[in-house]
Amino acid sequence: MLPVLNVGPFAIQLPGLILLAGIWFGLNRSESFARRRGLDVEQINALILYSLLGGLVGARLGYIAQNLAAFSQKPLDALALSPQMLDGASGLVAMLLIGLIYGQRKHLHLWQTLDALTPALGVLMMSVALMNLASGSGFGIPARLPWSIYLFDEYRHPTQLYDFGMAVVIWRIVESRPGDFSLPDGKRFLMFVSLSAFARIAVDVFRSDRALIGLGGVGIEQLTAWFILVAAVWLMQRKKTIQTGGKI
């Protein structure tokens, strides 16, 4: 793990650097996709920017809300540039809310916009996996395997690398044939959501830091991913039924 990269007299937070690089590359991929589809590139970029800013603020506020006792003693810590002090669920809710509000105000087509955002989301998933690898977050259960990594005094499943590998495969699938207009609007996004949910279900089996809910060792994130997977598949099937005039 390498949470801090020392470059001369400077100490750079590597997870934060990875996130910034992922955002930059993701923006480029979504911009390229939107341009091929004849969408308003400036509106798409603005949507991504506002959603990301809202997501970061929401993630920090969510983390603060869960650790009020610590921040009441040191309130200025809330301004620390630390990617570890973010709550993913709160950030996701805030990001979706800001994106929805902006999209409605600008009258953006929902499914076309979500398809345009999909390449950026795919890159972001890869970035999060590498962030966790650099910081040591999302570590796996103890295991003696040829590919295990040594972390916290144990050889463990490299779940961060599992996440990264899954994210690369998913990204290649959703990025394939970007100029293919035969795919219905929203299909690319729903494929990304369903595949990402499946990946979360699979990789969380090997994670050590997951929160369990007592249903045979099922994690909260796994259960949430199951609901998301079912909803995404149902939406794909429903859209297909509507487009075929009610015939499946």
Residue 248 lies in a domain: yes
pLDDT value at residue 84: 67
Q: pTM of this prediction?
A: 0.82
Residue 76 lies in a domain: no
pLDDT value at residue 52: 86
Residue 146 lies in a domain: yes
Least confident of 35-44, 175-184, 202-211: 175-184
Residue 190 lies in a domain: yes
Residue 31 lies in a domain: no
Q: What whole-number distance in Å separates Cα of residue 225 and Cα of residue 88?
A: 14
Residue 226 lies in a domain: yes
pLDDT value at residue 76: 83
Rounded average pLDDT over 194-212: 85
Domain count, the chain: 1
pLDDT digits (tens, 9 = 90+) for 146-197: 999 988 888 999 999 999 999 999 999 888 765 666 678 888 999 999 999 9
Residue type, 43: Q
**Are 141 and 157 within 8 A, CB to CB?**
yes
- pLDDT surpasses 60 at 211: no
Residue 81 lies in a domain: no
Which pair of structure tokens corresponds to residue 157? Answer: 């499943």
Domain hosting residue 163, numbered range:
119-248
State the average pLDDT for the chain: 84
Which pair of structure tokens corresponds to residue 119? Answer: 């390449």
Q: What whole-number distance in Å separates Cα of residue 156 and Cα of residue 148?
A: 5
Residue 17 lies in a domain: no
List % helix, strand, coil for the chain (3-state, nearest 5): 65, 10, 25
What are 6's strand-pairing partners?
11
Q: Give 223 or 11, the one with higher predicted confidence.
A: 223
